Chains A and B, each alone.
Chain A
C-alpha cells in the first residue's frame, strides 16, 4: 500500500476510487406491542426479503453487494488482560479469582438493537441513497413494499418523509468504513454486468468455434459482435442480482 492510499484512508474513509462503502446502524425502537418487539418485527420483514433478481437491492442502481441484519448486542471478548496497558491485578490474578475477574475488560451492552445496513456501490453517497428511496421495491406476498417498510420501526424514522430527509437520516446513522476493500472494479454496475456477460459469451464463442479457419472465424466473430453488442450497456447483459448464466 502506497503513501497516498494510506493517506486516503483518513481523507476519504468510505471510498476506493469510484466505489463507495456505506455502513449504517439505525437504532430500533424499544417497544413491545401484543407480545412482539419492534426488533422481532424488523427481523421478520428482513427474513422475508426476496433474493437475487427479485431483491429490492437489485433495483437500487449501482449496488455491488449489500447486506442487512439485526445487531442484537455487542459480543463480549472475555480475554485476559484489562483495558489499561498495565494492570497490577493481571499479576495478582494468578493468585485470586477476584483479581482475575477484576482484570477482565468491562462488559458493555447496547441500549437498543440496531438495524445494520451495509453496501458497496458505484458512485456517490447522496445519489445512492436517493436511489434507495426511489427504487427500493419488492413484492411481499402480493403487497408492494418500499424502503420505509424495513426502516419504519427505527428511532426517529417517523420524521422521514421524502428522499432528502431519508438521505440525512441515513447519514446521521452512518459509520465510517476506514479499511474499505472493494472486491471488484469501481466501474458502474451496468459496466460490470456487461463485462461479465461478455466474458461468459466470449468463452462460449471460443469453445464453439475452435479449430475453424481464419476466414470462418472472422465471419463468426462478426455475427457474435452483432449479437452481444459490446458497447451497448443496456443489453444484452446480465440482470442486477442475477446469480447464474
Chain B
C-alpha cells in the first residue's frame, strides 16, 4: 500500500461504505439549477458541509454526512467552460436513460416507466447519510434553507414511495433509504429477497492500511495472494490497472483529480414473484429451497457463506459452526477469502450466480495455466465500488406491489468500461462464462415472452445430470437513475467559484 491519497480532498462516499460505519439511514435529494450564478453560490454553501474521506476514529466520526455530484446537464447549468465540458466521456454526457439499450432497461425497466422525477432533467445529487432519521432531518432542513435562500435552484419532486403517513405517493421530495432490520429489531445487512448484501466490495491502493481487508477483495496474484487494485480504477487522476491515467478525465486536472463517476440506480425488487419462483423451482430442485436461493446468488441467504466453500447442507453446517466460533476479523475473511478456481465447472457455485457474474475473481482463465499475465487480467478493469442501501418495506411477501428495492450506487473511473460492461456482458449475456445468452438469475432483464433459463453444472464424472432452472421471470426492475460526476472537494469549490480554467 504505497499510495498516499489526499483523503481530505476525496468525497467520503467514494472511500467509505457509510453503512458499515453505522450510518443506517440515507436520504437522496435531486435538484435543478435555474440560474448559473445562484446555482454556484448554492454549491459553495453545500460544499462547506461535504464529507471528505478523512479517516475517522470513535471521536471524530460525524453523526451525519453530506455528499454531492452532478449530471452533465448539471455541469452545463453551472456554466462550466465548454473546453472542460467536451472532455467528459459520451456515456456520462448521454446519461443513463439514453444508455438503455446497453443496460438492458427494456419492458418494465424502460425509462418511460421510471419515477416521475426521471421524466425531467436532474442536475444535482445530494446524499445525506445518518445514524438516525433525526440526524438526517437536521441536515435536510439546513439544505432546504440553502435552497430557499438561493433562489436559483429547485428541489425536484417525483419519487415513488410512501409519505410520512404511510400513504403511497408518486410525488415525494426525496428518496429515503435504510438498512433492513431483523424481526427482533436488530440491524441486518439484508436486502428484500433475504440475501446478505454488500460483502466483498473491491479494495484499492490507499484505501486501507489493513492488509486483512484486501483478502478476496483486491486483485488475485499469480501466487494466489491478494493486493489492492490500482487507485485509478476508481479515482480520476491516479494510475489505473493499465498503468495509465483514466481516459475519462476532463480538463483541467484540478477539475478531475480525486473525482469519479457514480451510477445511481433505483432497483425495484419483485418480492412476490421471487418468492413464488423460488417455491416453484425448489419443488424440482433436489437440494432444497435455501440451497437453490444460494445457487442464484453464489452465497447463502442467512449469513452470506460463499457457495464455493459450502456447496451442500453438510459443508454449510460445518462452515456455520466455524463462523459462529470465529472473531470478527476471521469471520470477514471467511466471507471473502475464496476464488472460483477450485470450481471451474461451476458445480458448486453456478456460472450464472450473481456474485460469480459480477466478480469472477480470476476464474476467466478457466484453469488454463498462465493463460494471461495475471489471473485477473479480464476482471481487474471491470470492478465497481458498490454503495447504497435498501429502500421501502415489504408489506406482503406474496406481492410485487409497493415500493421496495435497492438504491444501487456504483463508483468507477469509467462507466462504460466498468459498470456498463458488467451490466451488458456479464449480467445480461454470458459468452465470457461459456453459458450462451443465459442472463444472471437475479438482476438479468429476463423477458416475459421468452423467459430465461440457467444451468447448474455438476462435478464432472459424478454421473449426475445438470440442473436446469427454467422460466426465470424479471425479478428486478429499474425505476430510475442517472450518471453523475463526483468532484473532489477542491473541484467542488472551483465549480462553485466559477474559476474552472481549462486553458
Contacts and interface: CB of A to CB of B under 8 A. Distances in A.
B468 interface: yes
Contacts of A208: 470
Q: Considering residues A203, A207, A208, which has the most beta carbons from chain B within 10 angstroms of its beta carbon?
A: A207
Contacts of A159: none
Interface in B274-291: 284
A183 interface: no
A190 to B, nearest CB: 22
B453 A210 contact: no
B interface residue count range (under 10 / 10 to 19 / 20 to 34 / 35 or more):
under 10
A211 interface: yes
Contact of B284 (A203, A206, A211): A211
B453 A207 contact: yes
Interface string A183-217: 00000000000000000000100111011000000
B283 to A, nearest CB: 10
Query: Which of A203, A208, A210 lies at the interface centre, i.e. has the most chain B CB atoms within 10 A of its CB?
Result: A210
User: Binding site of B, secondary structure by majority: helix, strand, loop or mixed?
Assistant: strand
Interface string A207-237: 1101100000000000000000000000000
Interface string B467-478: 110100000000
Nearest to B436: A203
Contacts of B467: 210
A206 B284 CA distance: 13
A210 B470 CA distance: 10
B465 interface: yes
A54 to B, nearest CB: 22
Nearest to B465: A210
Scoring B453, B467, B468, B470 by chain A CB atoms within 10 A of each residue's CB, the highest score goes to B468
B280 to A, nearest CB: 13
Contacts of A206: 465, 468
A152 B470 CA distance: 52
A102 B453 CA distance: 62
A145 B57 CA distance: 78
B284 A207 contact: no
Contacts of A211: 284
A211 B470 CA distance: 13
Interface string B282-317: 001000000000000000000000000000000000
A11 B453 CA distance: 47
A206 B468 CA distance: 8
A202 to B, nearest CB: 12
A209 to B, nearest CB: 10
A206 B454 CA distance: 12
Interface string B217-233: 00000000000000000
A206 B465 CA distance: 10
Nearest to B285: A211
Contacts of B470: 207-208
Nearest to A244: B450
A133 B453 CA distance: 43
Contacts of B468: 206-207, 210
Contacts of A210: 284, 465, 467-468
A203 B470 CA distance: 11
Interface in B449-468: 453, 465, 467-468
Contacts of B465: 206, 210
Nearest to B284: A211
A208 B284 CA distance: 11
Contacts of B453: 203, 207
A217 to B, nearest CB: 10
Nearest to B450: A245
A213 B467 CA distance: 15
Contacts of A203: 453
A244 to B, nearest CB: 9
A224 to B, nearest CB: 15
B451 to A, nearest CB: 11
A204 to B, nearest CB: 9
Interface string A53-81: 00000000000000000000000000000
Nearest to B468: A207
A208 B467 CA distance: 11
A176 B284 CA distance: 56
Interface string A161-192: 00000000000000000000000000000000
B428 to A, nearest CB: 16
A203 B467 CA distance: 11
B454 to A, nearest CB: 10
Nearest to A211: B284
Interface string B173-217: 000000000000000000000000000000000000000000000
12 contacts: A203-B453, A206-B465, A206-B468, A207-B453, A207-B468, A207-B470, A208-B470, A210-B284, A210-B465, A210-B467, A210-B468, A211-B284
Interface of A: 203, 206-208, 210-211
5 smallest A-B Cβ distances: which pairs?
Answer: A207-B468, A207-B470, A210-B468, A211-B284, A207-B453
Given A203-B453, A207-B470, A211-B284, 9 more contacts: A206-B465, A206-B468, A207-B453, A207-B468, A208-B470, A210-B284, A210-B465, A210-B467, A210-B468
